[in-house]
Structure 1
């Protein structure tokens, strides 16, 4: 068992726009638990929504986000302490580079016991629930006894390792899209998740991959990573371009990863009859649309995508084989104590993925 410091620096969320860098007790590993020294933690779009007080995190008498809590669910680190039985259960030793699913499954509910752990009924996510699922915006972090832990191989760079969680989510989304060789695929949103998806969709070799975003820098990165056509809907008629490209029919697959309500209505108009609409985004507010388009007018196949079940090994392997890259996606990094500056940069148009590196 390694010797850990008694306290550590951590970002602690106390409420909307009340996040503080504090000295807190270092977590210790109980039976079957693992403590890692955090190497990097990404700031996700959902972290920004939570920071600004989105009702989906803070709303109601019993909000989903349980403060005070250390946020951060995109992470990797080095094993620093193994609780009793953890080495055998998880196949680990001190010094291994590892990550885990962002969900901390209960292991007991209907979904967990039938292999659908990413839909766990309790649904604790690292970085959102105090005590049971503290996150990684800290020097150290604890994985629970029910965590699904993955070793990160030596050929994966530090920046790639920091992208394993979003890439795993992107793998699941692209799998849900069931992309075929003859498909015209439209991806709305070229943020971190979108740019991960671009690379994965390109590996599927569809007929055409069209990427939409309002940020020209992100469109340029998308083009470099495999997009055939990039469109800024604020400057061009994206729906007309896609319709013209497809003899007026519309795209075969539409993946919504913009996080903006207009991405939904745009996609429903842009997609062909009998198309596949994949919804990935987390929205800050409710989205209203005409549902008759889904049934009566187009008979669409609507598929949701949540987290990255069983896909972390896939993401790690694709990074290891150099079929994926973090180049152009990871743009900035800060220390934990520079959290305020990191959050400010995360809102900047020039930034894509901002990391905290303790």
Structure 2
């Protein structure tokens, strides 16, 4: 079977190509990919090429398929797995395999296994590890976005606090506590806000900061204080762009006691130092953002580490249970991963969008791999619709969903737009 795929040959060398997939082995599964969302981690891999720790040395001869936040439909099942999976089943993928100590992962390491393609072959280790997940939801984008949502979810489960007088760590955020989310105006921040408000264990206060007016305004339009309050959370947005002393300003919302949990969503030295300054006693600083600079560092107050028991944790990715939690919450309509999405495109847009990802404003870029469509911002649909009825239809649908992507929009796209194959 032929597939179309975006493959990495070297640093900044991504190519959209058509080639033949080998016949699957009895322990493999062939799937049709429907959606993939582009991750900043893919940009890092594409920028570094073979120098990335997950990318093989020989990609100039054996290129890998990029993309790891994908979902679709099973086409053919090898004999070994026919008792568990069948053709026609929808699926999601947990890409953090960690198979026998290997760093190999879809989207970084495999010749025939990745998300930015029309068809791909899932190797046996994925099923062995339980990382091919059944999906029964309505929209494929929810399954794709379960991967970045799992990273968000995992960070909350990884945060921890201590038990006074005992040598015990209690995993999770402080229920009913005070939380700050710094640089929360990006797609992962939006996903985090949605999850925080609608999860079981939540803070009583959530302060979200950013330095961009447009991001703050968009966040306020999606996450209202009324909705948050209904779920037991006092939600405050703060634009820190013109705030002279950020840490001092943020402390006022806690009456000077500081925050129990602080999450940092951008690898910026000043952000980390502000986060450290606003921690309360036994406060946990979660450094969520992954820096590219291997020597990235910031100044922290070790007096508070000793006397106030402040501490730091960093997370990179979620696990399979986090993926399952995301899929379940999406199916129950408790969270809406579409809050992360600002652009829609086809497979033909992947290479350029990936290599220029830091320069494209907005949130997640969602790709439909059987569609030929330039990457288009959702807020551009209405303007394009003045000359193209297809975009007029999309604008009408997204307008009824607070400007967000939706299952209705996905159905319309898949039914109406020009197919690649």
The TM-score bracket by the shorter chain reads: 0.7 to 0.9
Computed over aligned residues only, the root mean square deviation of the Cα atoms, in angstroms, reads 2.4
Are the aligned partners of 2:174 and 2:261 in contact in 1 as well (CA < 8 Å)? no
Q: Residue 233 of structure 1 aligns with which residue?
A: 240
Q: CA deviation at 1:304?
A: 2.5
Q: CA deviation at 1:190?
A: 3.1
Query: Using the alignment, how far apart are the partners of 2:26 and 2:185 within structure 1?
Result: 41
Please tell me whether Structure 1 or Structure 2 has the larger radius of gyration of its CA atoms. Answer: 2
Query: Using the alignment, how far apart are the partners of 2:342 and 2:23 within structure 1?
Result: 32
Asked if 1:312 corresponds to 2:323, the answer is yes
Query: Using the alignment, how far apart are the partners of 1:287 and 1:77 within structure 2?
Result: 38
Structure 2 counterparts to residues 213-252 of structure 1, below 5 A: 213-223=210-220, 224-225=222-223, 226=228, 228-236=235-243, 237-252=245-260
Structure 2 counterparts to residues 198-213 of structure 1, below 5 A: 198-203=193-198, 204-213=201-210
Query: Using the alignment, how far apart are the partners of 2:78 and 2:276 within structure 1?
Result: 50
Query: Using the alignment, how far apart are the partners of 1:306 and 1:344 within structure 2?
Result: 22
Q: Residue 76 of structure 1 aligns with which residue?
A: 71
* The 10-residue stretch of structure 1 (93-102 or 244-253) with the greater mean CA deviation from structure 2: 244-253
Q: CA deviation at 1:84?
A: 1.7
Q: Structure 1's 319 and 18: CA in aligned 2 closer, same or farther, altered over 3 A?
A: same
Structure 2 counterparts to residues 41-52 of structure 1, below 5 A: 41-52=36-47
The one of 275, 278, 282 equivalent to 1:274 is: 282
Query: Using the alignment, how far apart are the partners of 1:19 and 1:215 within structure 2?
Result: 31
Asked if 1:187 corresponds to 2:181, the answer is yes
Structure 2 runs not aligned, ≥5 long: 160-171, 229-233, 370-421
Q: CA deviation at 1:27?
A: 5.2
Q: Residue 116 of structure 1 aligns with which residue?
A: none
Larger RCO, structures 1/2 (Cα 8 Å, 6+ apart)? 1
Asked if 1:136 corresponds to 2:115, the answer is yes
Q: Structure 1's 27 and 334: CA in aligned 2 closer, same or farther, altered over 3 A?
A: farther
Other structure's SS at 1:319 match: helix
Report Cα offsets for 1:267-320 as digits up to 9, x if no partner: 112222320111222111132123553634643232222322112221111011
The one of 99, 105, 120 equivalent to 2:92 is: 99
Asked if 1:289 corresponds to 2:283, the answer is no
Q: CA deviation at 1:333?
A: 1.8
Q: Structure 1's 259 and 139: CA in aligned 2 closer, same or farther, altered over 3 A?
A: farther
Q: Residue 339 of structure 2 aligns with which residue?
A: 328
Report Cα offsets for 1:150-181 as digits up to 9, x if no partner: 11113x42332221111122111122232233
The one of 128, 135, 144 equivalent to 1:152 is: 135
Query: Using the alignment, how far apart are the partners of 1:207 and 1:300 within structure 2?
Result: 20
Other structure's SS at 1:351 match: coil
After TM superposition, the score normalised by the length of structure 1 is 0.84
Q: CA deviation at 1:330?
A: 1.6
Query: Using the alignment, how far apart are the partners of 1:306 and 1:270 within structure 2?
Result: 23
Q: Residue 337 of structure 1 aligns with which residue?
A: 348
Q: If each structure's helix is expressed as a fraction of its own residues, which one has the higher value?
A: 2
Other structure's SS at 1:104 match: coil
Q: Structure 1's 260 and 141: CA in aligned 2 closer, same or farther, altered over 3 A?
A: farther
Query: Using the alignment, how far apart are the partners of 1:198 and 1:329 within structure 2?
Result: 10
**Deviation >4 Å, runs of 4+:** none
After TM superposition, the score normalised by the length of structure 2 is 0.72
